[in-house]
Amino acid sequence: MTAEFAVALPAVLVVVALAVGTLGAASRHVRLQDAAADAARWVARGEDSDSALGLVGEAVSGASASIEYRGDLVCVIASAPAGAALTFVDLRASSCALAGGL
C-alpha cells in the first residue's frame, strides 16, 4: 500500500496544482474582461486614453491593452499572462462601447 501511495501522490498533487491554477486563471480573466469594459466606456465618454489603459494595468498586474476605433465603437483589447501556475497561457479580453455614449 505504501508503494501505491508513493506513486499516486505526485499525480494527485499535479492535478490539484493544475486545478488551482485554472481557477486562478479564470478569476484573472474575469478581472481582465471587466477592466477592458471599464476602459472602453472610459474612452467612449471622451476621457484620456492613457488613463483608461492604466485602469487595465491597475486591475490586472502585468496586463497590457490597446484601443481600436471601429466606426462608432471604441474597443479595448487587453491581454495578460494567466499567472504563476500557467505561465504558458496568455489571457485575452476585448470590449467595445459606443463613442460619445454615457
Number of folded domains that form the chain: 1
Range of the domain at 59: 2-98
For residue 69, which of 93, 51, 54, 49 has the smallest C-alpha distance?
A: 49
pTM of the complete model beyond 0.75: yes
The three cell numbers locating residue 53: 489603459
Whole-number Cα distances in Å, 70 to 58, 67, 74: 25, 10, 6
The pLDDT tens digits for 54-77 are 989 899 888 999 999 999 999 999
The pLDDT tens digits for 21-33 are 888 889 999 999 9
For residue 65, which of 23, 45, 74 has the smallest C-alpha distance?
A: 74
